[in-house]
Amino acid sequence: MPQSSLSWDLPNPFTWRISCGIEHEDRLAHVNNVQYLHWLEETGWQHITQLGAPWDEWKKSGVGMATRESHIEYLAAARAGDLLYIGTWLTGGDRLRMTRHFQIIRVRDNITLLRADIHYVCIDLVSGKPKRKPPFMEQAHQAGMQAAGFTI
């Protein structure tokens, strides 16, 4: 099934394809919840990098987006051999914050396995205190919001 015919929550997702391996399973013989978190984080990094805000630029600016709050709903399980698509969208934020929505779909049956909304805050990498996003991050955020059909 092509990625474009999957049942996405929102239009125009940034997607990353994952093949589940036995190394991703836990004692219950399904993909471990911690693995999903890792994949969400990696998908977010790939997306923001594509939008023009790679990690090297963040480090140079001395800021980063730290997770402030996560809401994750696990709906079904994946197992070794499953092919998944992870979709993400930038869905909100302001000069200090950013919100990202995620959805994981199993390709063989078009079933949504997980939905998540993660809220981030921009922080100074040295002090850990909130700090306004620099222009390159703000531009990437706005580009992602526009691609998803949202405005800041």
Mean pLDDT of 8-14: 95
Q: What is the DSSP letter of 88?
A: E
Distances (CA, A) of 33 to 30, 75, 95, 112: 9, 12, 31, 15
Residue 129 to residue 121: CA distance in whole angstroms? 10
Is the pLDDT at 132 greater than 90? The verdict is: yes
Q: Percent of the chain scored above 70 by pLDDT?
A: 97
Is the pLDDT at 151 greater than 80? The verdict is: no
Domains of the chain: 3-147 (3.10.129.10)
Residue 150 — pLDDT band, cuts 50, 70, 90? confident
Residue 79: count other Cβ atoms within 10 Å of its Cβ.
14
Is the pLDDT at 4 greater than 90? The verdict is: no
Q: Closest by alpha carbon to 136, among 66, 56, 68?
A: 56
Residue with token string 């700090």? 131
Contact 114, 74 (CB under 8 A): yes
Residue 1: the pLDDT is: 58
Contact 123, 96 (CB under 8 A): no
Question: What pLDDT, in 10s, does the model give residues 22-75?
Answer: 999 999 999 999 999 999 999 999 999 999 999 999 999 999 999 999 999 999
Is the pLDDT at 143 greater than 90? The verdict is: yes
Of residues 148 and 68, more confidence is placed in 68
Model confidence, pTM: 0.94
Contact 93, 135 (CB under 8 A): no
